[in-house]
Structure 1
Amino acid sequence: MAKKDRDKEKEIDKEENKELDEEKEGGKGVLALVTVLIIIIWLGIIAILIKTDVGGFGSTVLYPILKDVPYINKILPNQESTQGTYETADTQYQYSSLDDAVNRIKELELQLDEAQNKKKKDKQTIKDLKKQIKDLSSYKKDQAAFEKEKEKFYEEVVFSDEAPDINEYKTYYESIDPENAEVLYKQVVEQITYDDEVQDYAKTYSQMKPKEAAAIFDTMTDNLGLVSDILMCMGAQARADILGKMNAETAAKLTEIMEPSKK
């Protein structure tokens, strides 16, 4: 009886051990399957990274090594983009030695120094030009003030009603330095010429009939200054006869112009 019980226990233990062994075998299979899946996933991720050339790893590192390996080269980036990468790299580094690169750096530094020096010179030139413009502006302002004072002197002293006879000025300016009297002399000569011409006009219109002269003067409304000068060079009676035949409005304007206080 006792022997049967021991045999039965041994059978039970053997079955339990067998089940444990089967469970271990099954666990190992699952672990192996999961491991394979993880490896496949990582390989897929790596293949995607290589294909998309993230960080240039696929084109610069793997392409030269794997480009001739069948099937595996399918995961490499497209040849056109890879070639473009090579071309870019070639154009960026066109030096056969370190000395060539150092010499090129020195050349570029020299060009930079020259450009900076030129920029400094340009700044100084601009500064000098601005100073010249400022000086010229100041001179122009002073010159304008001088011209204004000179014109005022001409009007108040040379050409005013109380000024000496204009022929006396002409004689005086001919006797002094022409350079200093050029402007005044020119104006005096022009004034004398104008006065002579006005005298000739006055003689001509005085010999005409008042009605005819008045008709002509009525058409000269845009130059009443000349008309008034001509009338002032005529005798009082001849002037009155012509004004009497003129348009009343025009005659009134001429009278205002010839008024002694405004002449």
Structure 2
Amino acid sequence: MAKKDKDNVIGEENESGGSKLVTALIAIVIILIWLAVFAFLIKMDVGGIGSKVLYPVLKDVPVVNKILPTASEEVQAEEGDYQYTTLKAANERIKELESKLKSENGTTDANSDYISELEAQIKKLQRYKDDYDAFQKRVKEFDEKVVFNNKAPDISEYEKYYEEIEPKNAEDIYKQVLLKLQYTKKAEELGKFYANMDADKAAARLSEMSEDLDLIKDILENMSEKQAAAILQEMDVDFAAQITKKISAVKE
């Protein structure tokens, strides 16, 4: 009889333990279902609970922040301190700037190529201009001897002068005059181009031509004094002084 009662007690205890386990499992399943429902509501941002309530609190918590809804463009812009409130507005501005930059680069490249071509022609003509200037110097020296000397010129001086204007020499002189006119015209064109550029950019470009101060002088002389002064102010002090000295020497 006692043995039978003991078996009944053990059976009741096993049954009680099994019931508790089932109850616990049911409770866990119910909790998981509620958590899944709650996570779904957060992810779908029902009533703004995900974006307005939980996003600011849980956005930096690893793993947990995976259940949060994707932040709106406005929120992302505010957090990133962007200038534009939406990605669409930012993209439109980027396209606008790219288009403008492409247009300006095209114009700049065209002008740059044309200026380079003119500069090449100027340098080519520079040699002929130097020859012409040397001849002018010889003529001036002779004229000074004729006009300012108290003594009459020696016959050899006249002979030298007539040699300069023999047909062959006259032809060479004519060619040099034409080349000087071409040089002057190109210098005028370059003067207009550089006058229309920003003073700092024009100064930088002209400074690259430091080996040809005469050309720089001629370009500056083909623009207004105000424009030339603005460009000189943007140049290196010593370099600007050299050019100013060149200009002053011509005016004297």
Taking CA–CA contacts closer than 8 Å with sequence separation of 6 or more, which of the two structures ends up with the larger relative contact order?
A: 2
TM-score, length basis structure 2:
0.34
TM-score, length basis structure 1:
0.33
